[in-house]
C-alpha cells in the first residue's frame, strides 16, 4: 500500500490531479471486476486500460514446482484475463478504446530456466492477438507490449534459485531503460496503432530473427545455454 500511495503522489505531481489508487487482488475476478466497474461508472466510461500484472519464477522445468506454475499463471495470465473481461464491456458500450497488455520479450525469446515465466508471457501475447480480432468491430484497439530487461522491482518477490535471481537482477541493472521511459514508448506506439511493441531496439532484432528463422533461433539460444554451463563448470 505504501508503494501504491507513493506512485499516486508521483503521478499527481506530474499533473494528473485526479489520479487514484486502489489495492485489488488480481487473482480475485469479482474484486477486479468490481473495481473496474466502479471506476468506469463513476467517471462515465473507460477509454484506456494498461494491464501489467506480473510476477516471476525461474528454474529448469524439473525444478519448478507445480505450485509456482499455478501462482504465476493465476497472476500473469488470469489476472490479465479478468482485467480485460471487465474493461471490454465499457469500451464496447462507448464504441472505442485502447487496451494494452504488458507481456515480455520472454514471450518469444524463451530462454532456458524460465519455462513458467516464458509460458505466461506468451499466453498474454496470444490473448492480445485474439482480442484484437474480436474487439476490432467495436472500434477497440488491442496491443501487446514485449519489453526486454529494464529496471523494475520484479525480482523482489520472484520464486527462483539464487543464481537465476542474481542473473536477472544483473541484467536489469545493466539496462539503461527506466520504467517511465518504457511506459511512455509503449503508450505512444499503441496509440499510433502498433499491435506488437518490442523494445529496446536490440530486442526488435531478436523478434525478427525468431519469426524469420525459428529453428536457427532456437539453436542459437541453446548455444547460449551451453556456454553458460561451460563457464560454471
Q: CB pairs under 8 A, 24+ apart, for 70-74?
A: 71/159, 72/116, 72/117, 72/120, 72/159, 73/116, 73/119, 73/120, 73/123, 74/27
The pTM score is 0.88
C-alpha cell at 112: 532456458
C-alpha cell at 94: 462507448
> Could you report the per-residue pLDDT of 201-223, keeping only the tens digit for each?
888 999 999 999 999 999 999 99
Which among 200, 116, 114 has a CA at the least distance from the CA of 150? 200
- Give the residue numbers annotated as catalytic, written as ranges: 117
Quick one: pLDDT at residue 39?
94
Residue 8 lies in a domain: no
Cα distance between residue 137 and residue 139, in whole Å: 6
Residue 70 lies in a domain: yes
Q: What is the Cα–Cα distance from 206 to 214, expressed in whole angstroms?
A: 10
Q: Which three cell numbers stand for residue 229?
A: 554451463
Q: How far apart are CA 132 and CA 230, in angstroms?
A: 43
Q: Give pLDDT < 70 ranges for the chain.
A: 149-177, 228-233
The CATH number of whichever domain residue 227 belongs to comes to 3.40.50.720
Query: Sign (positive/negative) of CA torsion 118, 123, 124, 128?
Result: positive
20 falls within a domain: no
Q: Is residue 42 part of a domain?
A: yes
Domain carrying residue 48? 25-232
Query: What pLDDT, on the 0 to 100 scale, is given for residue 169?
Result: 61
CB 121 within 8 A of CB 106: yes
Query: Is residue 2 in some structural domain?
Result: no
64: in domain: yes
Task: Give 76's DSSP letter.
Answer: I
| DSSP SS3 for 50 | strand
Is 3 contained in some domain? no
* 89 domain residue, yes or no: yes
pLDDT in tens, 61-92: 998 999 999 999 999 999 999 999 999 999 99
Please say whether the dihedral angle defined by the alpha carbons of residues 153, 157, 158 and 164, taken in this order, is positive or negative: positive
Read off the C-alpha cell for 166. 542474481
Q: How many domains is the chain partitioned into structurally?
A: 1
Amino acid at each position: 500500500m505504501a508503494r501504491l500511495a507513493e506512485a499516486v503522489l508521483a503521478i499527481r505531481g506530474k499533473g494528473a490531479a485526479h489520479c487514484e489508487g486502489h489495492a485489488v487482488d488480481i487473482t480475485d475476478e469479482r474484486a477486479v471486476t468490481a473495481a473496474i466497474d466502479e471506476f468506469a461508472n463513476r467517471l462515465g466510461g473507460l477509454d484506456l486500460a494498461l494491464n501489467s500484472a506480473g510476477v516471476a519464477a525461474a528454474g529448469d522445468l524439473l525444478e519448478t514446482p507445480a505450485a509456482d506454475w499455478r501462482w504465476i499463471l493465476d497472476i500473469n495470465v488470469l489476472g490479465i484475463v479478468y482485467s480485460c473481461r471487465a474493461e471490454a464491456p465499457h469500451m464496447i458500450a462507448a464504441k472505442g478504446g485502447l487496451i494494452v497488455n504488458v507481456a515480455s520479450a520472454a514471450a518469444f525469446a524463451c530462454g532456458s530456466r524460465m519455462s513458467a515465466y516464458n509460458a505466461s508471457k506468451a499466453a498474454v501475447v496470444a490473448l492480445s492477438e485474439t482480442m484484437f480480432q474480436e474487439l476490432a468491430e467495436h472500434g477497440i484497439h488491442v496491443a501487446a507490449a514485449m519489453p526486454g530487461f529494464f529496471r523494475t522491482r520484479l525480482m523482489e518477490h520472484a520464486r527462483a534459485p539464487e543464481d537465476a535471481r542474481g542473473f536477472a537482477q544483473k541484467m536489469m541493472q545493466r539496462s539503461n531503460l527506466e520504467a517511465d521511459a518504457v511506459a511512455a514508448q509503449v503508450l505512444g506506439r499503441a496509440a499510433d496503432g502498433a499491435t506488437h511493441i518490442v523494445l529496446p531496439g536490440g530486442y526488435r532484432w531478436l523478434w525478427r530473427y525468431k519469426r524469420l528463422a525459428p529453428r536457427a533461433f532456437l539453436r542459437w539460444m541453446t548455444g547460449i545455454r551451453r556456454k553458460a554451463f561451460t563457464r560454471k563448470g
